[in-house]
Amino acid sequence: MRKLVYYIASTLDGFIAGPDGADPTGPDGFWPIPDDYIAHVIAEYPETLPGPARTALSISAPGRHFDTVLEGRRSYEVGLRAGVTDAYPHLRHLVFSRTLGESPDPSVEVVADDPVARVRELKREEGKAIWLVGGGELAGALYSEIDTLIVKLSPMTLGAGIPLFSGKATFDPNAWTLTDHQVLASGALFLTYDRATTIVTISVTD
Ligand SMILES: NC(=O)c1ccc[n+]([C@@H]2O[C@H](COP(=O)([O-])OP(=O)(O)OC[C@H]3O[C@@H](n4cnc5c(N)ncnc54)[C@H](OP(=O)(O)O)[C@@H]3O)[C@@H](O)[C@H]2O)c1
């Protein structure tokens, strides 16, 4: 079974974007991307860079980790507003939406069905891991299906914004095991956590 990986940039206070839902790393964004952060992404996760950035940086490396990418409609629209109908042409690209209707791009599949059922189907297929881009609402719907969290933690706080999980996410405490980490000189951390195996304890009483 392949894994669903929520690979996501977060602030120290757990936000992935500002309250307005705009691209926080875009030309008018507030989220700085230091050089060592970009270098680490290019070296470790080249497939997570959008197509236009890969072209500009002459990156043609295939996916090291992922061959499929999932987005919620509002995250997808960040690219659409910039005129990009498929930000990840080098990956199989699925967008979850009940309102978008026909896909704006023949290589992007719009899925109106239940994301949990669709992700379970995808996991049964052969291939590399499945990258959940976000945003918070789709991640909230897929909370139970996430096997690995890769949090790119930026040394900033927002006070308010779109959280890592939102929408229909419910209170459901889960433990995660740290399996990898990189600390960059700029202060960003790349933290990889696998969902911890549940340990059942049995207490014996008289
Ligand atoms: N920091 C990062 O690394 C990162 C990564 C990705 C995105 N972002 C940011 O996140 C923000 C967008 O996040 P968001 O939470 O507002 O929205 P989102 O999760 O990207 O998209 C929400 C939409 O996804 C669809 N969806 C969600 N749950 C669904 C379900 N159960 N079934 C079918 N469709 C479902 C719905 O589309 P319909 O309404 O069409 O049904 C919903 O309106 C943007 O600001 C973006 O820049 C940040």
What is d(CA 41, CA 37) in angstroms, rounded to the nearest whole number?
A: 6
Q: What is the pTM of this model?
A: 0.95
Q: State the pLDDT confidence band at 206, using cuts at 50, 70 and 90.
A: low
- Say if residue 199's pLDDT is above 70: no
Confirm or reject: Cβ of 136 under 6 Å from ligand 1: yes
DSSP 110: E
What is d(CA 18, CA 99) in angstroms, rounded to the nearest whole number?
A: 23
Q: Are 147 and 24 in contact (CB under 8 A)?
A: no
For residues 176-192, average pLDDT: 98
Kindly calculate the radius of gyration of the chain based on its CA atoms and give it in whole angstroms: 17
Site to probe by mutation for ligand 1, drawn from 28, 81, 138 as the one with most ligand atoms within 8 Å of Cβ, is 138
Residue among 94, 101, 41 nearest 71 (CA): 94
**pLDDT tens-digit series, residues 110-158:** 999 999 999 999 999 999 999 999 999 999 999 999 999 999 999 999 9
Tell me what pLDDT residue 26 has.
83
**pLDDT tens-digit series, residues 10-40:** 999 999 999 999 999 988 899 999 999 999 9
Give the Å distance between the CA of 201 and the centre of ligand 1. Answer: 38
Q: Are 110 and 95 in contact (CB under 8 A)?
A: yes
* Local structure of 155: helix, strand or coil: coil
Confirm or reject: Cβ of 96 under 6 Å from ligand 1: yes
- Domains of the chain, first to last: 28-195 (3.40.430.10)
Give the Å distance between the CA of 202 and the centre of ligand 1. Answer: 41
Name residue 188's amino acid.
A
Give the Å distance between the CA of 199 and the centre of ligand 1. Answer: 33
Tell me what pLDDT residue 203 has.
63
Q: Are 86 and 93 in contact (CB under 8 A)?
A: yes
- Say if residue 201's pLDDT is above 70: no
Q: Residues of 49-68 as b/e, b for ≥16 C-beta within 10 angstroms?
A: bbbeebeeeeeeeebebbbb
**pLDDT tens-digit series, residues 158-180:** 999 999 999 988 899 999 999 99
Tell me what pLDDT residue 61 has.
83
Confirm or reject: Cβ of 97 under 6 Å from ligand 1: yes
Confirm or reject: Cβ of 16 under 6 Å from ligand 1: yes
What is d(CA 187, CA 138) in angstroms, rounded to the nearest whole number?
A: 28
Confirm or reject: Cβ of 63 under 6 Å from ligand 1: no
